[in-house]
Structure 1
Amino acid sequence: MKKWMKVSMLLLLTAILIVPLAACGKDEMQNVRIAEVTRSIFYAPQYVALEKGFFEEEGLKVELTTTAGGDKTMTALLSDSADVALVGSETSIYVSAQGSNDPVINFAQLTQTDGTFLVSRNKIDNFSWDMLKGKTFLGQRKGGMPQMAGEFVLKKHGIDPHADMDLIQNIDYANIAPAFASGTGEFVQLFEPTASVFEKEGKGYIVASFGTESGHVPYTTFMTKQSYIDENKETVEKFTRAIYKAQQWVETHSAKETAETIQGYFDNTELDIIEMVVDRYKSQGSFATDPILDTEEWENLQNIMDEAGELPKRIEHDTLVNTEIAEGVMK
């Protein structure tokens, strides 16, 4: 009897151990490390994908890190500290121009316009772009998409940013807003939610949108190395499907619902400001509603870079953009 009980206990313990192991094998998650260039409401669909469990539905466990700057983000990707980078598509062109043997491929677009706004120190009821002539303009870092898109828009309105205004470009991204708040410049190019916060606090007034003026462009895109796609094609497909689900969710839900979903990523920003920013980005079509980066957007990007004198060489759309993955998950 005792021997039978020992055998029964042994079988029971074996079953207890085997079941969790089997479950682990069945529900094993694939880890994906994202390096985002900055933390921004501009990237709302990404945070929706995380909060709504769209990545988990695809069997992905995502680790998100903010790397603060395009150069640092690309370094993280190239050094294998990240699997996927969320950054401006211009960075993939810069890497390609340096002769990389493992090109960085844009596979899922997140935003499709510039995300900055022109903020005036003084309230202007009837703004016109020529009001910037002769004024001090606090711009973005040279060579980055905000600066290039900003200069593209200024030239579109007949303003030479280097001749018709006092252009300041030597202030780090993190210090641009504080510099303006402390009295530097009469106009400044700012991202949200800073632009709306300044307006609410009376520190500045939004007078124009660079996103509306510059047209569709692959401003922020998920990209990875070609070798990663070759070795993890199914993972990249699952990742893209999760992003597409989030893009559709943001498109079909109110700005308030989106703001409430992503609020945890912006602890220092009030909910009404987040909602206002989401609504502003939605109304001007900044959030891409699908992950496809098309040829027209790619050419517009290179035209903007060329106009700013930052395009090392023209690169064909198919060389650095993979639309097959996005097209496949949308079917």
Structure 2
Amino acid sequence: MNLSESLLLKALSDDADTELVDLHCHSTASDGILSPTELVSRAKSQGVTLLALTDHDTLGGVPEAQRTGDQLGISVLPGIEFSSRWGKRPVHIVGLNVDSASTTLREAINLREQLRRERAERIAERLEKRGFAGALQGARRWAGDGVIGRPHFARWLVEEGHVEDSARAFKRYLGAGKVGDVKVDWPQLEETIDSIRAAGGTAVLAHPLKYGLTRTLLRRLVSDFLEAGGQAVELLCGRQNPVQTRELRALLDAVAEECGRPAPLFSVGSDFHQPDQPWRELGCVRLPEGVEPVWKLWQTSANNTG
């Protein structure tokens, strides 16, 4: 396991199913507002007992988050949210409990860092042609030591007074079909899952309801994800309509049966980025009763060590 045995046993006690677990959140290492230390402290104040820091395409914030977790008594899993593609469609795959020393994982991260740098330069060029001089330097300042993403350009546009808020920045300049919407040839879903599993991690399909897919396409995505070795799906990612949750669970069970595979394990997370969004506050959702949580993988391994 990638956690020490004692920490793993503490993180996955017999009460884990009734405690607050959040396996999807972001810090300043990518596009979050809070530093890893601030994030873990907030998670502690929200009652979260098991947290996975899953910044976009980087593990940069994990060591700090784990040190803070040790100090505060909250268990922090090393995680990452990989940018990926399913065909031509962008999808996100979360890797949980990954080994940061994995050569394969480091190669996957390095590739995405390069792709993100190139994308940031192209976004800046496009914005500057629209009269927004200094876009790259401004976004880089907001990103700090983290990877540059579109939210950093949005914050710079707000800071410079070009738009009222980040939502308006995306609506006018950075969202789908806008000037700052630069397409990237991210690695394919299958390659991404292989990278996570090579690092001893668990591959999780992130927020499947947020891709705007028809039911037919969503079934196909889940099927391809399972066939490629994906192990879990985020049943809840932030607060969502209970009807949607029930329908998604039924769809996942049906697809697994059609594929002749066991039903995927279920993950849960807030997709936390900043404090003023209560619908994705840390620890704001729990898995419903009767589902098999992804942390059962680690509970089983922990119990076998005893």
TM-score (norm 2): 0.33
Q: Which has the higher helix share?
A: 1
TM-score (norm 1): 0.31
Larger radius of gyration: 1
Taking CA–CA contacts closer than 8 Å with sequence separation of 6 or more, which of the two structures ends up with the larger relative contact order?
Answer: 1
